[in-house]
Amino acid sequence: METIHHRIRRLIRYYSRMAGSRDPVTIAKAAGIRIACLPLGEIAGNYMLLKRKRWIFVNDNIQTDSPLFRVVVAHELGHALLHRKENCAFLKHKTLLLTTGIEREANLFAAELLIDADMLEVYSDYTKEDFCRHTGYPKELIELRLK
């Protein structure tokens, strides 16, 4: 039986080859997953399946060129690819700490997608805090990736 780690790596290999990139926005577009920026209050992002169309909604107060935007899209992309029929919200400052099954899997997907082996090698001499300062990614993401 395939473990979640193997499934995540297989999906990332497939979609990054298909899209020609590991960028979550590029992958989402190549997979036919729509992305929209909307006012979502305290929610950073949300994945929904609406009328058989997959949507990632990102809070419009998150800059599209920020690392947080990439983290939110990668997390919601994880839901779209791993949990197609579940509607899931990314709660700002909370989701990376949640341990429920589907949230943990989406976090693992985001960590694996955004922090590849090459990036780990480049930052191998850095502390976790330095890595976060340079990439803009939350500390929980690098901790998940290193487990």
Residues in the chain: 147
Tokens at 126, concatenated: 């850095």
* Domain hosting residue 130, numbered range: 4-146
CATH number at residue 59: 1.10.10
CB 87 within 8 A of CB 75: no
3-state secondary structure 76-144: HHHHHHHCCCCCEEEECCCHHHCCCHHHHHHHHHHHHHHCCHHHHHHCCCCCHHHHHHHHCCCHHHHHH
pTM: 0.90
Amino acid 62 reads I
Question: Residue 122 and residue 51: Cα distance in Å, rounded?
Answer: 43
Give dist(CA 55, CA 52) in Å, integer.
Answer: 10
Instruction: Per residue of the chain (147 residues), give pLDDT as tens.
Output: 889 999 999 999 999 999 999 999 999 999 999 999 999 998 999 999 889 999 999 999 999 999 999 999 999 999 999 988 776 555 554 445 455 788 899 999 999 999 999 999 999 999 999 999 999 999 999 999 998
Distances (CA, A) of 132 to 23, 67, 137: 18, 10, 5
Total number of domains in the chain: 1
